[in-house]
Amino acid sequence: MNNQSEESPLYGFKLHPSCSLEAISNLIERETTEDQRREINGGLVNSMLVNAKENLDLRLGLDMVDVDDLITITMEDLKVFTFTMRNSG
């Protein structure tokens, strides 16, 4: 997420330090089927991040004052997408 264009819906957001490449890879492998990964292919990560941003919006209250919390996507946010994938296929 370091090389985002300003047109990206995720521009300005960042991943929590717990969202390492290895952790996200393990999450995808554990929570999605091979068929789902093959079908979505390169769009999987983009869809996952868009869903995570939506979950971040839902998770945070209007009274949040820490700007860092408002722009940081966590593993919990990413897990929402895999839960959706698991229940759709």
pTM, entire model: 0.78
In a domain, 6, yes or no: no
In a domain, 24, yes or no: yes
Q: Please determine, for residue 62, whether its predicted confidence score (pLDDT) is greater than 80.
A: no
In a domain, 65, yes or no: yes
In a domain, 1, yes or no: no
Domain with 53, as residue range(s), is 14-88
- Residue whose C-alpha is closest to residue 54's, from 24, 89, 83, 26: 83
In a domain, 3, yes or no: no
Spatial distance between the Cα atoms of 50 and 21, rounded to a whole number of angstroms: 17
pLDDT-derived band at 75, boundaries 50, 70, 90 = very high
Residue 16 pLDDT: 95
In a domain, 84, yes or no: yes
In a domain, 55, yes or no: yes
In a domain, 36, yes or no: yes
Helix runs in the chain, H state only = 21-31, 34-40, 43-59, 67-71, 75-88
Residue 89 pLDDT: 57
Q: How many domains does the chain divide into?
A: 1
